[in-house]
Structure formats: C-alpha cells, structure tokens
Chain A
Amino acid sequence: MMWFFLVSDALTFSGLLVAYGYTRHTTQAAWPIGEETFDSLPFLGHGYPLMYVALMTFILIVSSVTMVLAVEAGHRMDKKGVMKWMIATIIGGFFFLGSQAWEWSHFIHGSHFGSVEILSGEHTGSRAIVKGHFGELESFTVVQAGKHHKVGDVIKETPDELFHHFRTAVMNGQVKDGKITLHDGSVATWKRHHDEHMELIVKTDGTEHSLAKVTKIHGKDAEAKYWESVNSGKKGAIIYGADLQSNEYGPSQYGQFFFFITGFHGFHVFSGVMINILIFLGVSRGTYHKRGHYEMVEKTGLYWHFVDLVWVFVFTFFYLV
C-alpha cells in the first residue's frame, strides 16, 4: 500500500514541478539564478553559492542511508541496530528541518539592499537586483522632534537595529531626500559607511517585453541609481526579502512556488520524522521483534527515501537550473 501512496504523491510533486516549469517559461522577466539567490551560510555571510543547499542535500542523503541501514539491521533481527540507525535518521530529519527554517528565514528577510526599481535614465521602470557590500549604519541624528526624540538627539544602536528601522521606513515610503521618518514621528538624518562594490543587475524590463540580455550597472552610477530610488519616498521602489505578494529575487511567482514546493516538501519531512519517532517507539518496546519481522520499519523507510527522492528533484529544478 505504501507504494501506491508514494506513486500518487510522486504524481502530485511532478504536477507541482511541471507547473513551476510552465510558469517559468511563460514569464517575461528574468528568472532568479540559484547560485545568486542562495549564496549565504549561517555566521559567515555571503559569497558561498549553493553551499548551504548542498549541505541540506547531504544531510538528507545521509539520513536516507541511516534509514536503509536500520532496515538492513531489521532483516537480521538486530533490535539494537535498528534502534541505533533510527535515532540517527530522526536526528538527520530534525537537522534538515532546522536548516530549512534558517533558509526560509533568510529568504524572507532578504539582503540589506533589497531589489530596486530604477527611476531615471534608459532603464526607467526596470527592476534590478543589487549585489555588493552595504555600508553599515552608524547613527541617526534627529532634526525634527517626535514623541520620544528631541531635535539634536543622536540615536546610537547596533548597525542591525538601526538597519531594522531603516528597512521598515524604506518599505513604508518614509525615507525621502536623505531624511528618515522614525516610528515615533521624529525625522532624522543618518550617518553610515560607504557601500562597496555595488552592482545593479537589471532583471525585469520596464516594458512588457522580455529582456534581450541582462544588463549590469557598476560603481558610482549604480550607487546614484540605487540611492535615488531609496530617497524617492516611493512605496515599493525597494523590495526587501520575500512574501507571497512580491520578492526581491525575481517575479512574484518565483517566491510563491518557492514557499509552496519547499514548504510542501518540508511538511513531508516533518511527517516523516513524526512517523519515524512512532516506529522507533514501537521498535524499542519490542513490538516488531515479537511479530518476527521488521516490516513496519521497512515501510516507513520507503516513505523516508521518497522524501529524499523528491528533494533530489527540487534541488535540481529550484537551485541548479
């Protein structure tokens, strides 16, 4: 019966991936590139294309191996062996889920630059993703009093906290002409380090037509265009991270498919871990040993390998090609 369930579930995933391919081929904007979108590692920052997904893939492969070793131990009626390998599998499953949580959080929060709508020049109306190193914020200086701050107050917090205020203000269209309106209503100027190696990669053309080729804007020109949009006070000129409406990486459907397909797969992994825990409890109580065979371990093993199998395809079509 497990095989019949897996056949139908595999058809579901096939349908989802084909729908993804369909959308990707119809859309006019340039589709995000895996190694550009996913290039971060926890604690180490940017510049490690695909390393993190590779790690996730490896974790899932290893947990699939430990599962098949549990099944093999079951064939020898080796209860201790089954327990050992099942615990390893469960730990691998939790590691994968934790990795995915980190990746989602990273995807949702996005980069320091976000993506930018270009407001002047030959690319007016086009949207570009931004690469480079964002100059850290140092402080805000209040120039117009609000509920909590007086004129002349200097707000010093960690760069991350300052950036959090900055990001919120930009998203709400409250940054204009070098001044930021803080959430208590006070208006401030900011002091920050210089950006480095900024590069705009134009991905979506201002017209309805698809891009003939991807254009890149470097250096001073890129900085001027980027900060013009930040300082425009136009809501949505800068998009940070991703939600179901829009995302900084590319067309909105990209984010929607990302959440749905990796989310649906993650849900399968979660169910798999729960089932593995139940079966592990059964093994440790000797239920299957008394029965004379470990067929239940073999069945959950099938499901667990299937989850790995789906990830192999998601990995290829979402991250590699």
Chain B
Amino acid sequence: MERDDIIEYSLDAHHSEEQGKKIRRKIWLVTAILTAITAIEVVVGMYFGRSLTSGMVWQSIKWGYVALTLVKAGYIVLVFMHLGDERKVLKYVILIPYFIFIVYLIFIGLTEANAVHSAWETYGG
C-alpha cells in the first residue's frame, strides 16, 4: 500500500530561510505573551490572593485566572504544537472530546462535591 502520509508530510515539512524568520518572530512573540501572563498571575497572587481578598473580588480573580490559563493553553496548543496549522478533521478529533466530556466532568464533579459538602455539614460526618 502506498503511504500517502509520508508524501504529505514532506510537502509541508520544509520552509525557506525567509519563512523561518517569520515563524521565529511569531515564536518569540508568543513567548513574551506567555511570560507576561504568568507574571501577571503571580503578581495578582501576591497582592490580591485568596488570603487577602474574598467574596466577589476573589470570585472574579479566580475566574480571571481560569480565563488566563485557557489563553495560555490556547497559545501552546495552537502555535507551539502547530494544531492551528493542522487539517480540520484532526483538529476536531482532538478538541471535541474535551468539549463534550471534560466540561461535563467538571460540571458534574463540582456539583456533586458541593452537594456532598452541604450534606456533611447538615448531618455530620
């Protein structure tokens, strides 16, 4: 059987010096973004962490953290791992399980946990 994957790989496996420059610029840009996001997270943690804030403020910081994490993850997967350049089918095969299963798992896990928490609180251990 003829292996079409090898042929296809070698088609876009190489690029010229000029394209390389462009790609490297993109890589360093993403590096700067990832570093900046991490720095922001740490500074916020130091001055507005869970030990220092509470209520609505902490709730919004927490969701801010989750959002920043997803942004970082997006950059790593799409640029560093080149998923952004892959074919559509592969992209969806990889991403759809998470949208279906993990979002559901998080939802059901935390809902159940909170129910168990309040049950223990009400009826004792």
Which A residues contact B (CB, under 8 angstroms)? 3, 7, 10-11, 14-15, 18-19, 21-28, 33-36, 49-51, 54, 57-58, 61-62, 64-65, 67-69, 72-73, 75-77, 208-210, 292-295, 301-302, 305-306, 308-309, 312-313, 315-316, 319-321
Contact residues in A for B41 (Cβ distance below 8 Å): 315-316, 320
- Knowing A25-B113, A61-B34, A76-B16, the reply to whether A293 touches B50 (Cβ < 8 A) is no
- Alpha-carbon gap, A50 to B109, bound state (A): 28
Contact of B27 (CB < 8 Å), options: A50, A58, A65, A320: A65
- Contact check, B9 vs A18: say whether CB atoms are below 8 A apart: no
Contact residues in A for B114 (Cβ distance below 8 Å): 25
- Contact check, B80 vs A321: say whether CB atoms are below 8 A apart: no
Which B residues contact A (CB, under 8 angstroms)? 9-10, 13-17, 20, 23-24, 27-28, 30-31, 34-35, 38-39, 41-42, 45-46, 49-51, 62, 65-66, 68-69, 72-73, 76-77, 79-81, 90, 93-94, 97-98, 101-102, 105-106, 109-110, 112-114, 116-117, 120-121, 124-125
The prevalent SS among residues of B at the interface is: helix
- Alpha-carbon gap, A64 to B73, bound state (A): 13
- Contact check, B51 vs A26: say whether CB atoms are below 8 A apart: no
- Alpha-carbon gap, A60 to B68, bound state (A): 17
Contact residues in B for A14 (Cβ distance below 8 Å): 98, 102, 105
Contact of A64 (CB < 8 Å), options: B14, B80, B110: B80
- Contact check, B102 vs A49: say whether CB atoms are below 8 A apart: no
- Contact check, A305 vs B76: say whether CB atoms are below 8 A apart: yes
- Knowing A210-B121, A295-B13, A321-B62, the reply to whether A309 touches B73 (Cβ < 8 A) is yes
Closest 3 CB pairs of A and B: A25-B113, A54-B42, A316-B69
Contact residues in A for B121 (Cβ distance below 8 Å): 28, 209-210
Contact residues in B for A28 (Cβ distance below 8 Å): 117, 120-121, 125
- Alpha-carbon gap, A158 to B102, bound state (A): 52
- Contact check, A58 vs B13: say whether CB atoms are below 8 A apart: no
Contact residues in B for A34 (Cβ distance below 8 Å): 45, 49-50
Query: What are some 18 contacts across the A-B interface (CB < 8 A)?
Result: A3-B90, A3-B94, A7-B94, A10-B98, A14-B105, A21-B113, A33-B50, A54-B42, A65-B80, A68-B27, A73-B20, A77-B14, A209-B121, A293-B9, A302-B81, A308-B80, A312-B76, A321-B66
